[in-house]
């Protein structure tokens, strides 16, 4: 296909469903028209009628009354009256800027619709059908990455010359090559690399790809969702993101797979946060989170999707503050990793979140090196507080010297907690088992996490103490298992949906992860992994997931309601505001959670 204006057509639905000979015939019969800005489309009526495809430019289409129906752009289609059965059939159209149109003749259009079911189905749908389908397709929060990626992407070895790589990309009409060595992803080479590095620097054509590629590129697993792809692309300005499974390349997602139209609202906040030049600018970004939460809940998103997306913003804000801190205090004298625990660590932040974090530093630092990280941590923690992530009431922050230590000290912490599980040790271990690296060198944490899980799971006394600690948060069930509310104080006649609703399941999930040596920290992911690992029964596990979903969703909807009414979100839900049907289901959910707590107490499924 030599005409560049046709380059998009092989990838445009429904033409991408047609057999190659049919597609070739279409290309041969397409008529091309060039319109100047302001020129009417139907000046061509006496020459040709059919389906118009916009190759470039912009067209305003109008109904009989002269009202603008829509403003169409590249890859959109429209037709003269009578050809289509829906709103894309218009009575007039006008180019609003210089435009190139391709016209599929009327007779060919009817032939394709009669002979090819996917083509007919595409153009016979009603506008409402397409709107509903588009909403589902563009909702990246419900799309797993495996449905977005191109499977089995084109690869090359590190030894291939850049000339051969350029030819391969040209011939395959692709914008990147994944560089694979010994069945493992070693790097990625893009057209931008070829132009900005090879061509601009005048490199020899026989230069190996290894010298030009981006080594160890950022990747995502197949379990990721579409918003994960979008957020990491926008934060790090990536156009290509490899997808891996067990360290093996299985696919790739590019920016052509994700458009801004498909992006959820969180993408704008992530992008703004990643480019903020000051703490004040970051605070303006996070001030939009309450409104975003309301939108996400109103759109029917599940609680785990909403909290994941809200946490994504906190992660980006934290990483931006780390960068601003390095700019202020100079390059760090040693490797470090900033970790979040609590709800941010588990990727479960809602509209009410304080900060829980710590710093792990590499060993062998001098006192001067250690001193660098004191104002560094204070700057980041102050910045988080300014952004609405208030200081931890328990002082579990990197500003506390206890939680800003070299790796060897952290190893000692965990060893002592496991060896001598006092009340404080149980509490600290519970929090620290939810650690997740946010910024810096994550490799400092990987060995610590693995070794700690191994040691903890092997110590039956410690796991018994942890199980006992996990049962300290009771569900709000009263006599005859009715709902029990807080009896006095500011939150009288309410249920604490965090402490007595979500936290009991968080504790259970942490215990399952400990028993199975599971490295996931998200509560729902822990329960799912526990089911898959036969740590808990499939029926009990799925009942717990359903109960958790109902409790967590009710908590989130309560917060969204408060925000809509101009109030600050909290976790205290008055059961009186629920219908009897809702109260009944919530009570049943708490019964399930209490049952799983009892199973833990009796040593079934976790300790037995």
The residues spanned by each domain of the chain are 4-138, 142-254, 276-442, 468-601
Domains 276-442 and 468-601 share a fold: no
Q: Give residue-wise pLDDT tens across range 146-195.
A: 767 888 899 999 999 999 999 999 999 899 999 999 889 999 999 999 99
pLDDT band at 137 (very low <50, low <70, confident <90, very high): very low
Sheet holding 184-190, edge to edge: 155-156, 176-181, 184-190, 214-215
CATH of 276-442, one of 3.40.1260.20, 3.30.460.10, 3.40.50.150, 2.60.40.10: 3.30.460.10
DSSP state of 40: B
Query: What pLDDT does residue 338 have?
Result: 97
Q: Convert 71-115 into a string of H (helix), E (strand) and C (coil).
A: EECCCCEEEECCCCCCCCEECEEEECCCEEEEEEEHHHHHHHHHH
Using only C-alpha atoms, what is the Rg of the chain? 29
pLDDT band at 426 (very low <50, low <70, confident <90, very high): confident
Say how many C-beta atoms besides its own lie within 10 A of residue 490's C-beta: 8
Fold of 4-138: Jelly Rolls (2.60.120)
Task: For the chain, give the number of residues.
Answer: 608
Q: Give residue-wise pLDDT tens across range 71-119.
A: 677 777 877 655 554 433 445 788 888 999 898 888 898 889 888 877 8
Angle between the N-to-C axes of helices 303-329 and 367-386, in degrees from 0 to 180, rounded to the nearest 10: 130
**CA–CA gap between residue 589 and residue 578 (Å, rounded):** 15
SS3 state of residue 549: helix
Query: What pLDDT does residue 470 have?
Result: 81
Where do we find the tokens 């016209």?
A: 103
Query: Any idea which of 49-63, 167-181, 301-315, 531-545 has the lowest mean pLDDT?
Result: 49-63
- State the chain's mean pLDDT as an integer: 85
Architecture of the domain made up of 142-254? Roll (3.10)
Nearest Cα neighbor of 588 from 548, 559, 547 is 547
CATH of 468-601, one of 3.90.550, 1.10.3470, 1.20.120, 1.25.40: 1.20.120
* Whether pTM exceeds 0.75: no
Cis amide prior to 168 (ω within 30 degrees): no
DSSP state of 371: H
**CA–CA gap between residue 417 and residue 428 (Å, rounded):** 8
Query: What pLDDT does residue 261 have?
Result: 34
Query: What pLDDT does residue 291 have?
Result: 84
């Amino acid at each position: 296909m030599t005409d560049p204006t046709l380059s998009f057509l092989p990838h445009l639905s429904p033409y991408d469903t047609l057999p190659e000979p049919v597609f070739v015939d279409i290309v041969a019969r397409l008529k091309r028209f060039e319109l100047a800005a302001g020129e009417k489309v139907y000046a061509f009526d006496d020459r040709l009628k059919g389906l118009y495809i916009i190759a470039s430019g912009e067209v305003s289409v109008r109904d009989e009354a002269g009202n603008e129906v829509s403003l169409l752009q590249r890859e959109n289609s429209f037709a003269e009256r009578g050809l289509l059965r829906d709103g894309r059939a218009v009575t007039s159209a006008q180019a609003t800027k210089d435009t190139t149109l391709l016209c599929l003749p009327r007779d060919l259009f009817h032939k394709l619709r009669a002979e090819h079911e996917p083509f007919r189905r595409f153009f016979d749908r009603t506008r409402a059908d397409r709107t509903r389908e588009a909403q589902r397709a563009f909702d990246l929060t419900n799309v797993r990455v495996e449905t977005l990626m191109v499977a089995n992407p084109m690869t090359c070895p590190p030894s291939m010359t850049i000339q051969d790589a350029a030819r391969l990309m040209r011939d395959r009409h692709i914008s990147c090559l994944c560089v694979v060595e010994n069945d493992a992803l070693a790097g990625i080479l893009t057209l931008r690399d070829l132009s900005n590095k090879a061509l601009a620097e005048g490199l020899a054509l026989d230069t190996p790809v290894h010298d030009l590629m981006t080594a160890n590129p950022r990747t995502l697993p197949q379990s990721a969702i579409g918003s994960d792809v979008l957020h990491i692309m926008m934060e790090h300005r990536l156009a290509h993101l490899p997808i891996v499974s067990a360290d093996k390349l299985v696919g790739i997602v590019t920016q052509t797979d994700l458009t801004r139209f498909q992006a959820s609202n969180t993408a704008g906040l992530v992008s703004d946060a990643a480019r903020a030049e000051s703490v004040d600018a970051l605070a303006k970004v996070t001030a939009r989170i309450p409104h975003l939460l309301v939108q996400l809940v109103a759109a029917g998103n599940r609680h785990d999707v909403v909290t994941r997306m809200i946490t994504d913003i906190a992660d980006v804000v934290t990483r931006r503050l780390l960068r601003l801190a390095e700019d202020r205090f100079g390059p760090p004298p040693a490797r470090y990793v900033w970790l979040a625990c609590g709800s941010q660590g588990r990727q479960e932040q809602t509209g009410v979140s304080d900060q829980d974090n710590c710093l792990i530093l590499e060993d062998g630092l001098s006192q001067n090196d250690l001193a660098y990280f004191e104002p560094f941590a204070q700057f980041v923690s102050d910045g988080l507080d300014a952004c609405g992530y208030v200081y931890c009431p328990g002082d579990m922050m990197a500003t506390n010297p206890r939680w800003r230590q070299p790796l060897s000290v952290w190893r000692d912490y965990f060893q002592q907690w496991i060896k001598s599980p006092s009340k404080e040790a149980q509490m600290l271990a519970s929090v620290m088992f939810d650690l997740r690296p946010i910024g810096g060198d994550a490799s400092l944490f990987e060995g610590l996490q693995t070794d700690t899980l191994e040691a903890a799971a092997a110590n039956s006394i410690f796991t018994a103490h942890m199980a006992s600690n996990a049962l300290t948060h009771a569900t709000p069930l009263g006599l005859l298992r009715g709902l029990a509310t807080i009896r006095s104080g500011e939150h009288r006649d309410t249920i604490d949906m965090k402490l007595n609703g979500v936290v009991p399941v968080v504790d259970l999930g942490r215990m399952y992860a400990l028993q199975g040596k599971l490295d996931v920290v998200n509560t729902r992911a822990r329960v799912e992994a526990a089911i898959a690992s036969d740590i808990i029964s499939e029926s009990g596990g799925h009942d717990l997931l359903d109960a958790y979903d109902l409790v967590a969703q009710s908590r989130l909807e309560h917060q969204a309601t408060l925000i809509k009414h101009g109030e600050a979100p909290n976790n205290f839900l008055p059961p009186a505001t629920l219908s009897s049907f809702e109260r009944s289901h919530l009570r049943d959910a708490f019964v399930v959670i209490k049952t799983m707590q009892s199973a833990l107490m009796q040593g079934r499924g976790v300790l037995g």
